[in-house]
């Protein structure tokens, strides 16, 4: 019995029938407690209510809440096998496993996708073709649906139940392609107060649109399939300039944190306190990883933002990484800037990124790789006509040959 769209007379008739003998009623996809209360069976019967909303009011009436978590990969593979048949899954086990990873254990995604693959049109479709469609960032979400049941429809009902402010936060989080977010980053990206952002993030977690990561009220994460939907909503309601400005503001927060932890790592206190040093390294690593994630998608970032990011990252590379080479995320973030600069054919910015990558390789004892990177940076600096950069790269090359790591600091 669906919890939506039932006419009043149909509700009354069905509930009257339940008074004659015990029954179990399933109310699927409830949006509010008030909606559920109208459909609860009489005493002697029971009800199972499924919802993406919190429905906390039902607990006062004696209901018991069971929170369902995403399936593990092995559970999801077992579900896929039961739905599609062992032979079909075993023929393309590597692609089946990749599909499981793409669904990230979300039951509605697995159900709708396998439902589509059991139709006449989908039963002979190779799993490698399905995987290719799922990986399309534009149309991948559309693959999760069969008939009137789809992930898009389920998520849209949850989205429509949100306030405008909650919807905006949901869209902003979807645009920030990072492993997890915190209230400060989201507040800056959405141009809200931190307290307001934290409250709205909590609302989204109650609506099952976010998951709590770590301590409650500290950090949140978004499922990849839900992120596809959030981005689609953002594209409908925000201009490209507004979307990019939100990402730029988030990058600013992470860069500021990289700078702060870099300063901590420079301090004398770190050298005297091993615990503080370990904490500073861990925090720098985490913030740099978030930068990697954002800069990896930096196709539309302004060159000025990339140059700013690179400057901060090169400082971290020259300072903290020189003392603690095991911190690799700054190197990854510099590489992300390099890729974005290459896409724009910005020669000077790309040469500076290659310079930073070469320094990292040299600090890790990989002189041959460092030499090749500096050679490429030298060619790009010549093509860019940047005399100061050309001189710095040439000096670094000569010092590399002499195993001297006192390279010119491009951030000065």
Evaluate if residue 242 carries a pLDDT over 50: yes
Domains along the chain with CATH numbers:
8-61 (no CATH), 73-147 (no CATH), 157-237 (1.10.10.10), 258-401 (1.25.40)
Evaluate if residue 25 carries a pLDDT over 80: yes
Q: Report the range of poorest mean pLDDT among 57-61, 210-214, 325-329.
A: 325-329
The reported pLDDT for the residue numbered 143 is 63
Q: What's the rounded Cα separation, in Å, for the pair 24 and 18? A: 9
Averaged pLDDT, 141-156:
69
**Quick one: pLDDT band at residue 304, thresholds 50, 70, 90?**
low
The reported pLDDT for the residue numbered 5 is 47
pTM of this prediction exceeds 0.75: no
Three-state SS at 7: coil
The reported pLDDT for the residue numbered 127 is 86
The reported pLDDT for the residue numbered 247 is 86
The reported pLDDT for the residue numbered 17 is 64
**Residue 80 CB contacts under 8 Å (≥ 6 apart), including other chains:** 89, 96, 99, 100, 110, 114
How does pLDDT run across 346-359, given as a tens digit for each residue? 787 788 888 878 87
Give how far Cα 252 sits from Cα of 186, 248, 257, 298, 366, Å.
12, 6, 9, 14, 32
How many CA atoms are closer than 13 Å to the CA of 104, on its beta-carbon side?
11
Distance of alpha carbon 134 from its chain centroid, rounded? 16
Asked if residue 25 lies in contact with residue 47, where contact means CB atoms within 8 angstroms, the answer is yes
Q: Which two tokens stand for residue 329?
A: 């995320």
DSSP state of 175: H
How does pLDDT run across 363-409, given as a tens digit for each residue? 777 888 888 998 998 998 888 888 888 888 888 888 887 766 567 76
Query: Which residue from 380, 371, 329 is spatially nearest to 353, judged by alpha carbons?
Result: 380
What is the rounded average pLDDT for all residues in the chain?
78
How does pLDDT run across 175-218, given as a tens digit for each residue? 988 888 999 999 999 999 999 999 999 999 988 899 888 776 78
**Quick one: pLDDT band at residue 45, thresholds 50, 70, 90?**
confident
């Amino acid at each position: 019995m669906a919890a939506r769209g039932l006419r009043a007379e149909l509700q009354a008739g069905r509930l009257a029938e339940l008074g004659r003998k015990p029954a179990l009623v399933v109310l699927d996809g409830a949006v509010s407690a008030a909606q559920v209360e109208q459909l609860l069976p009489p005493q002697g019967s029971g009800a199972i209510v499924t919802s993406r909303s919190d429905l906390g009011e039902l607990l006062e009436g004696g209901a018991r809440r069971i929170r369902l978590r995403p399936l593990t990969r092995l559970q999801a593979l077992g579900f896929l096998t039961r739905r599609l048949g062992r032979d079909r899954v075993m023929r393309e086990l590597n692609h089946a496993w990749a599909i499981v990873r793409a669904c990230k254990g979300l039951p509605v995604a697995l159900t709708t996708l396998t439902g589509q693959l059991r139709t006449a049109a989908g039963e002979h479709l190779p799993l490698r073709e399905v995987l290719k469609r799922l990986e399309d960032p534009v149309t991948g979400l559309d693959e999760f649906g069969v008939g009137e049941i789809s992930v898009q429809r389920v998520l849209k009902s949850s989205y429509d139940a949100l306030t405008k402010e909650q919807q905006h936060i949901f869209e902003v989080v979807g645009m920030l392609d990072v492993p997890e977010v915190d209230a400060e980053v989201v507040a800056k990206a959405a141009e809200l107060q931190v307290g307001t952002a934290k409250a709205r993030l909590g609302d989204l977690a109650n609506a099952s649109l976010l998951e709590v990561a770590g301590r409650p009220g500290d950090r949140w994460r978004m499922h990849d399939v839900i992120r596809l939907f959030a981005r689609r909503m953002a594209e409908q309601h925000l201009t490209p300039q507004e979307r990019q400005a939100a990402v730029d503001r988030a990058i600013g927060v992470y860069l500021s944190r990289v700078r702060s932890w870099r300063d901590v790592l420079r301090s004398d206190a770190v050298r005297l306190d091993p615990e503080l040093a370990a904490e500073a390294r861990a925090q720098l690593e985490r913030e740099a990883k978030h930068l990697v994630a954002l800069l990896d998608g930096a196709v539309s970032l302004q060159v000025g933002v990339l140059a700013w990011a690179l400057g901060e990252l090169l400082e971290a590379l020259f300072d903290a990484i020189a003392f603690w080479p095991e911190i690799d995320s700054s190197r990854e973030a510099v590489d992300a800037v390099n890729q974005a600069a290459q896409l724009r054919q910005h020669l000077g910015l790309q040469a500076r990124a290659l310079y930073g990558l070469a320094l990292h390789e040299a600090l890790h004892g990989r002189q041959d790789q460092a030499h090749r990177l500096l050679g490429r940076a030298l060619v790009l600096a010549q093509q860019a006509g940047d005399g100061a950069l050309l001189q710095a790269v040439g000096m670094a090359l000569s010092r590399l040959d002499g195993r001297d790591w006192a390279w010119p600091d491009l951030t000065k």
